[in-house]
Every structure is written in C-alpha cells, then in structure tokens.
Amino acid sequence: MRDEEVKTPYTEGPMHSTSPVIDPGLTFASVTDKISSIVLKRKTSLAWFFGFAISFALFQLMLLAMTNLVFVGIGLWGVNVPVAWGIDILNFVWWIGIGHAGTLISAILLLLRQRWRTSINRFAEAMTLFAVAQAGMYPIFHLGRPWLMYWLFPYPNTMGIWPQFRSPLMWDVFAVSTYATVSAMFWFVGLIPDFATLRDRARSKPFQMLYGMLAMGWRGSARHWHRYEMAYLLLAGLATPLVLSVHTIVSFDFAVGIIPGWHATVFPPYFVAGAIYAGFAMVLLLTIPLRKFYGLEGFITMRHMHNMAKVMLATGLIVGYGYIMEAFFGWYSGNKYERFMIWNRMHGPYHLYYWALILCNIITPQFLWFKKIRANLLALWIISFIVSIGMWLERFVIVVTSLHRDYLPSSWGMYQPTQWDWSMFIGTIGFFFTLLFLFIRFLPMISIFEMRTILPEAEVEE
Amino acid sequence: MDSDGRKLEQPIAAGHDPLPGHRRHAPPLYGVMAEFESPTDLVAAARQVYHLGYRRINGYSPYPIEELSEAIGFTHTSLPLIVFIGGVLGMLGGFFMQYWIEVIDYPINVGGKPYNSWPAFIPITFETTVLSAAFAAVLGMLILNKLPQPYHPVFNVPNFAFATRDRFFLAIEANDPKFDHANVIELLKSLGAMEVNDVEV
C-alpha cells in the first residue's frame, strides 16, 4: 500500500477523476519560484488594488456600524423581545461555520493522508482565521456593553463574582477563543518554513528582515524538521476533535434551550455538517477566481475542484437529512408547539425563507452528482454562491422563526433587521476580504514546502 | 550545548588547527558543509557518514525528509510526551478551575442541580485540554529546536540560501570526535558533493 503510494505520488486510482493533484512538469525550483514570486516579484495588479479598495471601503462601514452601536446602543439593531437574537447571532454562526472547512482541509485531510489537500490548505486556513475573526465580533457587540466583554473570562475580580460555567454561552466563549487561538498557531507553524523561503528569495532589505524575523532563523535542519513534523501532526490531531467540538458547542447554544425547533439532539451533527458544507462552498467561491487570476492551475487542479464539489455534495446531503429530521421530529413528537413550529416555518410569515432555504441547500447541490457540472467552473462557482446564501438562510430560519412565535401567542412578534444590522454584515464581509487581499499579497497562499513534498523528485530512491 | 541541544566537547582539539597557515588566527570552524543536488544523494551520503562513525552531523533540506533524520541517527523526540503532559495539565486545570469556582468559591443553585454538576463542565474541560496541548506542541517544538535563533553559522555558507529552494546540504561539525579537516573534505567530495565549504562560526 505504502510502496504503491510512493511510486505514483501524483496519480490516482480508477475510482477518481483523471486530473493529477499537481502539474507533473513542476520541480522544486519552479514550485518555489512560482509561488514566492506572487509575493515578491509580481507587480501588484490594478485588479488587486481595485478589489482591496472596495473591501477596505466596506470595512470602514463595519467600523462605522460598530462605533455607532457603541455610542447609541443595541437598539440600533432590529433585535427585541421576542426575537432577541437576530441576524447578528445568525452571522456569528454563519462565519464560524465557514471557518470549519479550513480546519477540515488542513487537519482532518492531513490525518486521512489526502495528498490533494496540500495545495489548498494554506489558503483554507487563512480563510478560517479571517472568518473566525468576523464571527468573534458579533457576540461581543451583541453583549450591549462590549467594553465589559472581559467579564466572560474567569479572572479574580473585586466584585467577587465568577462566570456561570453551566451555561452553553460560556462554553461558546471557551470554544471560539480556543478555536481562534489553535487555528492561528496551526497556520503560523505551517508558515515558518515558507517564511524562510521568502527570506532567502527577497531582494529588498525590509522584506528580508520582515520575513527573516517571522522565520525565526529556520534553516531546514533535519532535526528541526523531525520535531516540526511531529508538532504539525499532533496539532492536526488536536485540531480535528476541536473543530468538531466548536460547532457542536455552537449548536448547544440553541439545543440546550427549550425553544421549539431548537431543543433537538440532531443539532450537533447537523450543525457540523452544515459548517463544512458552507465552508467548502466558500473555499470554492474564493479559489475558482483566484487560481485563474494568479495562474495557479498547475497547483490547484481540476482534481481539487472535483473533490471539493464531492465533499459539498456529501455534507449537503447530511444537511438535507437534518432538515427532514427536523420536520419528522416536529410531527413525531406529538407536541403541539413543535408541530406548530414546523407548520409555521413552512406556512408562516417567514415561509419564503424556508422554501428558499430548501431550494438553495437541498435542490441546488443535487447538480453536483453530474461530472459535467463539477467540471464546469462557472456552474460550480454559482452553486457555491447559492449554497453560501442557503446556509445563511438556514440560520435565519433557525434563529428567527423559532423565536418569533413560541409558546405564548400574546408574546408573538416579527423581526426586521435594520440598516445597521446589514451594515455590520456587509462590513464584516469587507473586513474578511480586506484580510484576504492582504494575505494573498504578502504571504504565500500555497504552502511551498508541502508542495515540494508531493513532487515526484521528492522521493528518496533506495 | 549547541543549537540542537547536544553537549559540546572542546570546540576544536588543541593544537589541531583546521586551517593551518591561512591567517595568523584562523577563524574558529563550525564544521564542513557539503552541497548535494538531490534528496537521494543527500540521504545516501548521510548514511555513509553516519556509518563511518561521525555523530555530530546534520542535514539541511527544503522540505522534511523522513529518511534523512533516520540517516543521521535522529529518530527520537520527546515532543509527544510534552504535548501529553500539556494536555493533562490543561484538562485538570480546566476541570478543577470550574469545580473550585462552582462548588467551593461561588456556589449557586441552578435548577436544583448539584453544585458539582460535572457533565456541564466537560465542554470547557475539553477546550482547555486542547488549548494547553496545542500550546505545548508549538512552544515545545520551538524550544526544542532552539528557535527563534537569529544567527547560525550555517548561514555563512554561500549557497545556503538554496537550502530553502532546491539544494540539499550535509554538515559534519568540527566538534565531532572524529573530525579531521582534510579527511572530512575528502570524504564529502568522494560522496558526490557538488561543492564542499568550510563553515565559519
């Protein structure tokens, strides 16, 4: 098994599509030069400045929305009793879900020895980190008094009080902050050898110093590599259960509550699958234009597109199963509130959201069964876009339709996001892309040293 | 201790000037570095050098080569143990922090549940376990590797910048008990090195 893998490192069995994982003509030198030149030599294109400018402008909208929120208060948002969690908690769940694909690609696929992950893991990890950064801001600003957010952490204080650890909201604080920290460390550790590559390739003194400091004196010593590989493997082993725990705990925010439609045991697996589904959609959404623009077709091949589309299809089916089970539980529970909740989702004032969700998340991915559609990048991009919207709608349906009509009809109400809710959402998209544009300009978006390992010449012949 | 955590003996044996007559005070020598074109050449050379009894040797490559660390006799690292200890400490610390707060220091009756409602403490215990183990993995790796280390003699080798591109290097260090300058250069050349250089400290 192992020998076979060594002899044919970049071909695949009959079960897979025929594209290779990496362009067979590449060498150590060409891989190194090609990826590092994007950062070091290539002239920054007008399109980059254009994209960056738009993202940065939207990022300013986020800062404006946040500043206004801090000055005026949470009343700026559309949240109120009975819908105290509006699109801001929804956006938190949406962003953090997007992040999960990055960890899945970098950690879980590493443990499963999926070599195709190598050319997309750096980019997907960056996406994770930036998405988690957006996610983290929502609950903090939702607190109403965000400047007191440090009260969430257990620290000895003069008030003599402690956080309540039996609450899923506290679990969330620990899960998200751990996830952000571990993702950042995993990403940075992966970058160290590539910083050394950039240090040795950079022509200008400031960049030599910048990358030199970040590389921390990395010199590719065999002893260092040995410990490095061990650390990387252990981090992957730690990140794997971590990523599953994060969305499980996010789902506990809902499932531990007794709101109809939230109090369901299917929530953790269904949330995790949904997170991976949304995350792969986002990876495809970003890599399809990026590989074309930077001419990375030799690194991110059609094999990657096929595989990511298949993961999307599989997780989409799990999510579809989750929706069916929600409806089934509603009916089978015999509980009139649960039954009403399902009926209200399908026929109530927000029924358009529900049916749009079914269209986006269950019907659309079925096209991915066809090889022709998986091979058509435009179709794949459009499907990914629709799935991203669908996953946003899913969280809208879960958060809003369950809250707006629960047990007591006298407390029913409607929810309407305000312009400030939308400003915050659009603003975080801007911030996300701002970070992403800076990343592709200043850091190698493909892991150079890992690409070297999958080249045919990397094998030691006995 | 040198950069890789091995004990140093005398840097260079007294009266054994590696570069006699070149300068009045020959610069102290870190070792001799050979450059190879392929990972196969490097691993073969490393095996041969190790076989001949040299122990203070090190390979440098642009990507991790499992066979190389085996060839230079470096197969054990205590990193897994460090990570395990980090994880256990994180687990105990996380659980007993919650226990101490919720049971001893600040007990609050929530829905008649016991103060020590341990299942509710598990999610945070899990997160602190992972967090602490991950810190142990990253910091442990950096500390064992003696990083950050801004200066190292091997960077003086002219072509060493290609160690992060497509070249492979093997160093025999001057503190090796068997180190003899002329012999080592001869040996490395005979092993197919493209170039052999002295590494000044």
Confidence of residue A255 (pLDDT cuts 50, 70, 90): very high
How many residues in total does chain B contain? 201
Burial B111-124 (b: 16+ CB within 10 A, else e): eeeeeeeeebbebb
> Average pLDDT of chain A?
91
Residue A257 burial (C-beta neighbours within 10 Å; 0-12, 13-18, 19+): middle
Q: Do B79 and A227 touch (CB under 8 A)?
A: yes
> pLDDT digit string (tens) for A78-87?
999 999 999 9
| pLDDT score, position A3 | 42
Domains in chain A: how many in total?
Answer: 1
The alpha carbon dihedral of A243, A244, A245, A247 has a sign of positive
| pLDDT score, position B187 | 94
Segment (H or E) for B170: strand B168-173
Ordered domains of chain B (ranges, CATH): 29-76+150-200 (3.30.70), 79-144 (no CATH)
B30 close to B174: Cβ distance less than 8 angstroms? yes
| pLDDT score, position B11 | 46
Residue B102 contacts A, CB cutoff 8 Å: yes
Confidence check: pLDDT of B14 > 60: no
Report chain B residues whose CB lies below 8 A from the CB of A37: none
The total of other beta-carbon atoms located within 10 Å of residue B23's CB is: 8
- From the list A211, A189, A193, the residue with the least C-alpha distance to A202 is A211
Q: How far is A173 from chain B (nearest CA, A)?
A: 9
State which amino acid sits at residue B166: D
DSSP A241-308: HHHHHHHHHHHHHHHTS-STTT--TTHHHHHHHHHHHHHHHHHHHHHHHHHHHTT-TTTS-HHHHHHH
Q: How far is A211 from chain B (nearest CA, A)?
A: 12
Arithmetic mean of pLDDT, A15-27: 72
Query: Which of A116-125, B86-95, B122-131 is least confident?
Result: A116-125
Report chain A residues whose CB lies below 8 A from the CB of B64: 225-226, 228-229, 449, 453
Residue B150 burial (C-beta neighbours within 10 Å; 0-12, 13-18, 19+): exposed
Q: For chain A, how many helices (H) and strands (E)?
A: 18, 0
B60 close to A221: Cβ distance less than 8 angstroms? yes
Q: Do B63 and A241 touch (CB under 8 A)?
A: no
Pairwise CA distance, residues B134 & A188, whole Å: 12
For residue A56, give its domain range. 2-458
Confidence check: pLDDT of A188 > 50: yes
Angle, vertex CA A152, rays to CA A149 and CA A155, nearest 5: 110
A84 close to A75: Cβ distance less than 8 angstroms? no
Residue B112 contacts A, CB cutoff 8 Å: no
Which residue of B145, B146, B160, B162 to mutate against A (max A Cβ within 10 Å)? B145
Q: Do A230 and B60 touch (CB under 8 A)?
A: no
User: Which of A212, A227, A452 lies nearest to residue B62, judging by beta carbons?
Assistant: A452
- Residue B169, sorted as left (phi over 0), alpha (psi -120 to 50) or beta, turns out to be beta
DSSP, collapsed to helix, strand or coil, labels residue A161 as: coil
Confidence check: pLDDT of B67 > 60: yes
| pLDDT score, position B1 | 44
State which amino acid sits at residue A373: I
Strand partners, B170: B34, B59
User: Which of A154, A196, A453 lies nearest to residue B164, judging by beta carbons?
Assistant: A196
Confidence of residue B24 (pLDDT cuts 50, 70, 90): low
Strand partners, B59: B170
B199 close to B71: Cβ distance less than 8 angstroms? no
**Residue pointed to by tokens 């922090």:** B97
Confidence of residue A402 (pLDDT cuts 50, 70, 90): very high
Q: Do B164 and A200 touch (CB under 8 A)?
A: yes
Q: How far is A461 from chain B (nearest CA, A)?
A: 6
Phi–psi pair at B66, nearest 5 degrees: -60, -45
| pLDDT score, position A24 | 82
pTM for this predicted structure: 0.90
Strand partners, B171: B33, B58
Q: Do B120 and A220 touch (CB under 8 A)?
A: no
B199 close to B31: Cβ distance less than 8 angstroms? yes
Query: Which of A88-102, A165-179, B14-28 is least confident?
Result: B14-28
Confidence of residue B4 (pLDDT cuts 50, 70, 90): low
Q: Do B141 and A458 touch (CB under 8 A)?
A: no
DSSP, collapsed to helix, strand or coil, labels residue B192 as: coil
Confidence check: pLDDT of B23 > 60: no
Confidence of residue A20 (pLDDT cuts 50, 70, 90): confident
> pLDDT digit string (tens) for A265-286?
899 999 999 999 999 999 999 9
Phi–psi pair at A80, nearest 5 degrees: -165, 165
**Residue pointed to by tokens 């030069």:** A33
Residue B121 contacts A, CB cutoff 8 Å: yes
A127 close to A101: Cβ distance less than 8 angstroms? yes
| pLDDT score, position A7 | 41
Q: Do A234 and B160 touch (CB under 8 A)?
A: no
| pLDDT score, position B28 | 85
The alpha carbon dihedral of A402, A145, B93, A136 has a sign of positive
Q: Do A185 and B166 touch (CB under 8 A)?
A: no
Tell me which of A42 and A9 has the higher pLDDT.
A42
Confidence of residue A10 (pLDDT cuts 50, 70, 90): very low
Confidence check: pLDDT of A251 > 80: yes
Which residue does chain A place closest to B127, by CA atoms?
A175
H-helix segments, B61-152: 66-71, 79-99, 122-144
Confidence of residue B127 (pLDDT cuts 50, 70, 90): very high
DSSP, collapsed to helix, strand or coil, labels residue B78 as: coil
Residue B81 contacts A, CB cutoff 8 Å: no
Q: Do A242 and B43 touch (CB under 8 A)?
A: no
- Strand pairing class (B57-60; B168-173): antiparallel
Query: A-B interface: how many C-beta pairs under 8 angstroms?
Result: 202
> Average pLDDT of chain B?
88
B105 close to B39: Cβ distance less than 8 angstroms? no
User: Which of A162, A227, A457 lies nearest to residue B77, judging by beta carbons?
Assistant: A227
Q: Which CATH number covers residue A417?
A: 1.20.1630.10
Share of chain A above pLDDT 70, in %: 96
Confidence of residue B9 (pLDDT cuts 50, 70, 90): very low
Report chain A residues whose CB lies below 8 A from the CB of B125: none
Q: Do B165 and A460 touch (CB under 8 A)?
A: no
Angle, vertex CA A353, rays to CA A98 and CA A426, nearest 5: 45
Pairwise CA distance, residues A154 & B113, whole Å: 21
A435 close to A49: Cβ distance less than 8 angstroms? no
Report chain A residues whose CB lies below 8 A from the CB of B87: 238
Q: Do A221 and B60 touch (CB under 8 A)?
A: yes
Which residue does chain A place closest to B134, by CA atoms?
A235
